[in-house]
Amino acid sequence: MAITEIFESLISGWEMVRRSKITIDMYLAESHLRVRQEYDIADKATLDRPEQIFPSRTHGSVYATKVGSTKSVLMGVTCQTPDSFAISLDVPFFSPNSDPWTSASGDPHFKQIVLDNISLKTESVCYDVTGSPGDYLHIAGFSSNGIQVYGQLKDDYYIHRIYIKSDCGKISALTNFIIIDNGQQINWNMQEITFKSKCFEYLITGNTILITSFLQPGKTIKIQKSIHSLSEIHLDARFKLSPKDYKEMNGLIGNIGKKKYKFHSKVQSDGNMGSKFISIDIDNKLMKGEKVERNKEECWLINVDNVLKPFKISKYVFVNTSIIL
């Protein structure tokens, strides 16, 4: 395996940890590897060793320790071989009480992780999307493997169907069964079931299905059955992403994630617990963010139309079924 393939495998297969340690495990098939911290973020997390060198054909780990109460941070490390071939890796870290999944849930509410270009920490932003019954929402897309994810709204404005299009075929998830890319219909099952098709691996357990593409092993889509306040079953979609993934994405999540964020100091508070405001510079446009709680996680609530300017959310909403065919 070429050295570039090793690095690509490392990047795509990175598991976002939820411990007080950050660990990068890698197997080196050729040459030596030098790993060093790239970002000056000593007040948030530090490498346990300032520089680590692995000899050829060994398996090693890079460790870093969280500092203080930081919930998340993007560790930047540079890997360099003796012949000066180098590549930088962005490694996201989340503390045990943080949720690293990007999500489209409820009616629907979105939450995703973005990079604060001032502190180099990751921050959670959230926003609400509205549509009409029957509309198809372009949730996310991955340009590298052709996967596009759409959610269809029902008359309660919750997502009741999720469609995943790819070059291999279409996956349809409904509240009572799933049709995988080879046309096979699978019922939601309380017992754990794992199976593979030509391009995907599926894990169904209880009310959750995990879908992993063989083309990008590190990219996982989670579809989950949930019950809202009116006791109706709906579907939530979650994605295992880090900020570096957005550059190869489209759809609503991808395009919002590509923007450049700068989170400024708190500007005011109304005195109520958890009701704090902050100014956020998004692509050189200043707007307000409000700290709210979504699914027991705090995030900065932003106005989706303000973020998307000069476009609006209608760019990602479709009424014609041809979009999923």
What is the CATH T-level fold of the domain 3-94, as seen in this structure?
A: Immunoglobulin-like (2.60.40)
Q: What is the pTM of this model?
A: 0.73
Most confident of 20-34, 87-101, 272-286, 305-319: 305-319
**Per residue in 37-76, pLDDT tens?**
444 444 444 444 444 444 444 444 555 555 555 555 555 5
Q: Which pairing describes strands 177-179 and 169-173: parallel, antiparallel, or unpaired?
A: antiparallel
H or E element that contains 255: helix 251-257
> Measuring CA to CA, which residue among 104, 52, 42 is closest to residue 73?
42
- Compute the Cα dihedral for 205, 209, 213, 216 and give only its sign: negative
Domain ranges of the chain: 3-94, 101-324
Residue found by looking up tokens 């998340």 in the block? 72
pLDDT for residue 72: 58
pLDDT tens digit string along 265-305? 754 445 444 448 899 999 999 999 999 988 778 899 999 99
**Cβ contact 203:197 at 8 Å:** no
Q: What region does 6 belong to: left with phi over 0, alpha with psi -120 to 50, or beta? A: alpha
Scored b (16 or more CB within 10 A) or e, 128-149 reads ebebeeebbbbbbbbeebebbb
